Each structure stands twice: as structure tokens, then as C-alpha cells.
Amino acid sequence: NHLGHFALTGLLLDHLLSTQGARVVGVSSSMHLFGRIDFADLQAQRSYWRWRSYGQSKLANLLFVNELRRRLEASGSSVVAAAAHPGWTATELQRHSWLYRAFNPLFAMRPEQGCLPILYAAAAPGVKGGEYYGPDGLIGLRGHPRQVRPSSRSCDQAIAARLWDVSE
């Protein structure tokens, strides 16, 4: 959920820098709120637990976008690096959790609704670097796209820079 996005962005960076109006949108999740970056076990090879690993990867997505934004702005680039999350969207992510499947009919949006914050971050006029978008209703689980607040941990410049270095 992190290294592939990091690598792809790196491979596309020259093209992005030469393209007017280019944007990079990192896809995160509300689960980033529970994420912690474990630099001693980034790949969870010693202690894998799916939700902890998922939270870490979604926190990493936000840290990456924030560090990319800082680097782009420092270089004078007009490329926008923003982020979004789909809220609670009924996808294959929940297929192995009976609890999530049970609550999907009550809380989850259809994928065509859940993708709207991501599309907004990618295409709406006026989106600025470092902004984060998600659903506007029911504690961010569903609704229409709006700018939302990420965790303070996702804005930690020291952790973001360290993650960038390790990712390289």
C-alpha cells in the first residue's frame, strides 16, 4: 500500500514535473488514525496483524503525500500532491471480516460513491497540495466529498522524511 505508490510516483515524476496541472493523489483511509510506523518491521515480517499493517500503510500514504508536497513546493514545482479516503465503502477489503460484512448494509457506500473523494482530489478545481478529502457525513464514513482533517501523526515532518529515506 505504500512502496508501490512511492515507486510509481518516482518513475512518473519527470513526466509529472513537465505536465501543466499535474496531481498526485494518495489514497488513505480513516484507519490511518490507528497507524504507527514501525521502522524496525516496516514489512510486518516479524509480527503481522492485518488491521495494524493496514493502518500503518494508510498512515504511510499520508506521510508520503505530505513529504512529496513539501519537496515539490521547495523545488518550486506546481505539481499538486493531495490525498483522499473513500470512507466506508463496500469493497473486497471486508470480505474476510464477518463483522464488517454485517455492518456494510447499514454504513457502507457503493464503490461508485466511495470513489468520489478520490476523484474530487484528482480533478476538482482549487485543490491544493497537502489537502485531504473524504466523505462529509456520519463521522466521515459516507457522504459527499469535502476537505477533512488528517491525524497530527500524518503531518509529522520528521517521520515523513525518515519514511521517504527508508522508502528510497
Q: What residues contact residue 121 under an 8 Å CB cut-off, 6+ apart?
A: 23, 25, 82, 83, 84, 127, 131, 133, 145
**Residue 112 in 3-state DSSP?**
helix
- The total of other beta-carbon atoms located within 10 Å of residue 17's CB is 13
Helix pair angle (50-74, 157-167), 10° resolution: 100
- Partners of 81 in the β-ladder: 24
Q: Which residue has the cell 470480505?
A: 95
- Which one of the listed residues 54, 120, 132, 133 is annotated catalytic? 54
Q: Which residue has the cell 499493517?
A: 53
Let me know if 54 is a catalytic residue. yes
Q: CA-CA distances (angstroms) from residue 149 to 29, 103, 126, 131?
A: 12, 25, 17, 8
Active-site residue set: 54
